[in-house]
Amino acid sequence: MRLLILGGDGYLGWPTAMMFAASGHDVLAVDNYLRRTMALESDSSPLFATPVLEERARIFKQKSGHDVKVQIADCTHALAIDRIFADFMPDAVVHYAEQPSGPYSMRSESAARTTLLNNLGVTFNVIWGVLNHVPDCHIIKLGTMGEYGTPDIDIEEGWIEIEHKGRKDRFLYPRAAGSLYHTTKVLDTDLLWFYARTYGVRVTDLMQGPVYGLSTPEADLDESLMPNFHYDDIFGTVVHRFVAQAVAGMPLTVYGRGGQTRGYLNLLDTLQCVRLAAENAVDKGQLRIMNQFTELFTVNDLAEKVSRVGNQLGLKVEVNSIANPRREKEEHYYNAHFTQLLELGLEPHPMTDEVIAGMLKTVARYKGKIERRKILPRVQWNT
């Protein structure tokens, strides 16, 4: 297959590109380093520097013998993405090319505008790249479980049948996200659904939970092939922040009461899910929505796990609750279903003590590089 990976420099994009290349597919990774620029601007650079894409591809070729083609381009530029589709003619496009941070989107009006226009603009350009050049191309889009928010009813996989006043119909599951970033993913889903049902575009929209982990078969080939590791409050997810805090000897900072429940998954499982989506394309005009996580945890669960495993390794980890910078429910009902990816063959890698210990040990190699000023919340919702 010819696989186009948009956002190929990202935490998920680069491991995905390597995974498909290692499986013998023809892979083109595209990025404009937007996340690197935003991380610099917001003093949120990752734990260790990762080489630029051309250099990563060179090293990956040397270590594995496989090619990842690279193109540096801004996917919000209609002409740039049009040329990429016309030249590469992908069978599937994996669309990660979005500003990926909730806190970043809540920093300022300017950051909110960039998030909205970038994320919607790229999705729009991807749709038209497909329509203009490869109408059978399968769009695999990374959405987020955060689109659903925390409703008081069970979260189904993207759709819900509603019975109302004695009649029934099937609808997109209603969405209510907790940040502007997550809201742009809601808008993406609306837009993709419109183009699927009206123009026959093929779409898989993956409602993914927070991902953790640094190890994949390809990333493990060389230190310079590792995905970026953000432990800051802006681009770091809670698991990675807790791991960095444990290593740095800082208390793990739980936002508020810590009852916030979400679905999490190992980076290895993101790769499996995206591969399963690509290998099982959908029909023309179909929008398939799959919930992509493997385990539900509260923030308190995560703090308990990381502190317990950290203490076993002799790290003396404390846990502190701090004022919640976000607007979110800290205790809530959460029953999210996920069966489709398991039915396609996903074999989950649970968050075992060994997995957490592995992350702690990897991050400990960079202990001296952890910058404490980046970890505590610097962005308040609604100020």
**Nearest by Cα to 7 from 102, 90, 133, 123:** 123
**Separation in Å, CA 269 to CA 26, 161, 182, 210:** 21, 29, 21, 11
**Separation in Å, CA 135 to CA 88, 197, 240, 279:** 13, 14, 39, 18
Pairing of strands 167-172, 159-164: antiparallel
3-state secondary structure of 128: helix
The answer to whether 335 and 152 are in contact (CB under 8 A) is no
3-state secondary structure of 323: coil
- Residue tagged active-site, from 76, 115, 185, 264: 185
Known catalytic membership, residue 168: no
- Residue tagged active-site, from 181, 212, 255, 334: 181
CB 382, min distance to a second copy, A: 5
Q: Is 191 in the site for a second copy (CB under 8 A)?
A: yes
By beta-carbon proximity to a second copy, the closer residue of 206 and 287 is: 287
Per-residue contact flags (x/-) with a second copy for residues 194 to 213, judged by CB under 8 A? x--xxxx-------------
Name the phi and psi angles at 203, rounded to 5: -140, 135
Q: Is 172 in the site for a second copy (CB under 8 A)?
A: yes
The answer to whether 75 and 125 are in contact (CB under 8 A) is yes
Q: Which stretch binds a second copy (CB under 8 A): 48-56, 148-156, 204-212, 217-225?
A: 148-156
Q: Is 163 in the site for a second copy (CB under 8 A)?
A: yes
Q: Is 168 in the site for a second copy (CB under 8 A)?
A: yes
Q: Is 117 in the site for a second copy (CB under 8 A)?
A: yes
CB 195, min distance to a second copy, A: 8
Residues of this chain that bind a second copy (CB under 8 A): 78, 109, 112-113, 116-117, 120-121, 124, 128, 131-132, 151-154, 160, 162-165, 167-169, 171-172, 174-178, 180, 183, 186-187, 190-191, 193-194, 197-200, 327, 333, 381-382
